[in-house]
Amino acid sequence: MQLIRVAGCALNQTPLDWDGNRDRIIAAIAAARDAGASVLCLPELCITGYGCDDAFQSPGVQRTALEILGEIAPATRGIIAAIGLPVRFESGLYDAAAVVVDGSVAGIVCKQNLAGDGIHYEPRWFRPWIRGRRGTVAVAGRETPLGDLRFQCGDVRIGFEICEDAWVADRPGAALTARGIDLILNPSASHFAFGKDEIRRRFVLEGSRAFAAAYVYANLVGNESGRAIYDGGVLVAACGRMIASGRRFSFADRTLVTADVDLDEIRLAQSRLTLDPVADAAEGDRVLVGWQPATASTQPPAGGDHRDPWEHGGHVKEEEFTRAVALGLVDYARKSGSRGFVVSASGGADSSAVACLVALAVQLAARELTAANAARRLGLSAPPARGEDAVRRIVTSTLTCVYQSTANSGTVTRSAARGLAEALGGVFHEFDVETIVRRYEELVSGAVGRPLSWDHDDVALQNIQARARSPGVWMLANITGGLLVSTSNRSEAAVGYATMDGDTSGGIAPLAGIDKAYLRRWLRWLERHGPEGIGPVPALAAVNVQTPTAELRPAAAGQTDEADLMPYDVLDAIERAAIRDKQTPLEAWHRLRLEFPRHEARQLAGWTERFFVLWSRNQWKRERYAPSFHLDDENLDPKTWCRFPILSGGFARELTELRAAVAGSA
């Protein structure tokens, strides 16, 4: 048995936070060395941050990244560290990982496959490295090997797959196997999406099995640059067996995972592979490093295949949603320098969900970090109390809810908003904006020379109520230094069922990536069960019993969201067909007829037409929404996933085709 101890570390980095990113990397290296690790894998582009966008093109950014690498290198005494950064070579920029061994940069490996789908725009900034190509680049005045490389550190052989390299069919790991690799490192920046962790586990396990190697995967964690949330989850596998994994959705700056891998076991597995013969050192891809990783002690390493209890339960999506948004909110507030959150609380599902998520963020952070550390992470003074009272005090300092009533507001929503805020421990205010609404109506009525009425001015009279609520709550956010949270959800974003500069006001829209039908299910789960270790929020019963309504028309009108639009489950089904699957209105209608036989075909056609008309008409609204969290790979955010023209033909020809088909089926 020949053991070496390897490590992966998830890091919470921030784009272009040069000193902070450097210090977290150095701290991770020190922690890995203290844990007895000889090899450490850090996340992709961890020096600059992954989300630098067009700043990657700046020569100054590229130079500074190399300078920071030079500042980190001395901290690697006694260890091998893979550190991600952008590197310019000849006319191109490459996503790379520097291999730093015992204080010196031994070489730099470049990513061969770039992510250009979904929220990724890597080909905009980087070029894919051609397999087999090699060169040199100046690092600290010394020519350093660069490209498709493997590293011989004593008798330990190390190769790389960088993030997307492991997601493609022709993985670089296959070529590395033929060259006799013991350990594959995968520095990644893999954003969270529902169910994605299981996919990562499969490619890590399969890579370790098919390539007969130990495999170390290290990811970012936290809300790095505003929209994407990274869930961490370091993975270590060997010969098809998961031997260590780290917690996901951690609020800590770093999460280190170590494991001992048996080189004898790996080489036995390699000897059993059937491979085509390949050239070895003659091809010049091997970097010889005169440093031998230490043999691991017999003491078992920290870690193990860790999975939180909630990952084995029956509500994994609910738990993932809760923990992803909670982590995203804490990091967004911290990195933007905000002091807490302000929510325009209507007493309905969306604003209630946001208020709960803020409170849950505090509770989850305190549970992991302690109340005092959670407070400091949110920019607050440590509370004088301890235990649950301390956590509640932090919620009070973090969450402010404002119910803004007009003549059309009801006692049910007012009571629900107040009751929930008090149950969560948030501050609650009530503003009566009716006089402000009336004054605007008088001004406009005088300008147009006639009284305004619901018969002629329905939309305008609804919108002015929503817009009149914006200035006061913005003012409160400015005074408190808090972050105003927009409460719009994805279903509303799809059809523009929101008032610009009204309920869309805010600096972050955490629900704009989640549909209303799921959100209501989540609220019922939260009322009755709640996240592992936290428990339910019974006060949500007053919210969940309501039928969703904008509450902007007079009560006698009986306004509901679904009457204004269509049933939310139908709306979400049309959105998936139209936007995710790129189907025409006619194709979407045919799918709906199979999925919703309880509704008449003509009614489904009417809803389909309404969706396509509203979708194309309201792209400008989606362009103006506050940044939203990316929660699955079907997002509507035009800046990260779903681009659509602001001005278009509005599906006129396609809708004519739909109407003809409906008429022919009657």
423 and 495 fall within a common domain: yes
Q: Which of 541, 561, 581 is the last residue of a domain?
A: 561
555 and 601 fall within a common domain: no
Q: Which of 307, 329, 361 is the last residue of a domain?
A: 307
Amino acid at 461: L
100 and 201 fall within a common domain: yes
Comparing CA positions, the residue from 511, 464, 465 lying closest to residue 492 is 511
Lay out the sheet containing 3-11: strands in order across.
Answer: 134-139, 142-147, 104-110, 92-101, 80-89, 39-41, 3-11, 254-262
371-397 pLDDT, tens digit per residue, is: 999 999 999 988 877 888 999 999 999
pLDDT value at residue 300: 52
pLDDT value at residue 63: 97
Residue 241 — φ and ψ, nearest 5°? -130, 130
CATH label of the domain that carries residue 30:
3.60.110.10
Provide the 8-state DSSP code for 539. G
Provide the 8-state DSSP code for 508. B
For residue 498, what are the domain limits?
A: 314-561
pLDDT value at residue 281: 39
- Point out the residues of the chain with pLDDT beneath 50: 279-282, 302
- Give the separation between CA 458 and CA 461, rounded to whole angstroms: 5
214 and 135 fall within a common domain: yes
pLDDT value at residue 280: 43
111 and 214 fall within a common domain: yes
425 and 518 fall within a common domain: yes
Counted domains in the chain: 3
pLDDT value at residue 561: 85
529 and 620 fall within a common domain: no
Q: Which of 561, 580, 603 is the last residue of a domain?
A: 561
> Please, what's the b/e burial string for 123-149 (b: 16 or more CB within 10 A of its CB; e: otherwise)?
eebbbbbeeeebeebebeeeebbbbbb
pLDDT value at residue 80: 98
CATH label of the domain that carries residue 401:
3.40.50.620
548 and 482 fall within a common domain: yes
272 and 354 fall within a common domain: no
288 and 379 fall within a common domain: no
- Give the separation between CA 496 and CA 633, rounded to whole angstroms: 20
pLDDT value at residue 460: 95
- Collect all residues with Cβ–Cβ distance below 8 Å to 564 and sequence separation of at least 6: 497, 550
Residue 619 — φ and ψ, nearest 5°? -60, -35
- Collect all residues with Cβ–Cβ distance below 8 Å to 640 and sequence separation of at least 6: 118, 119, 227, 228, 630
What's the full length of the chain, in residues?
Answer: 666
361 and 487 fall within a common domain: yes
Cβ–Cβ under 8 Å, residues 142 and 104: no
411 and 502 fall within a common domain: yes
Note if the pTM is more than 0.85: yes
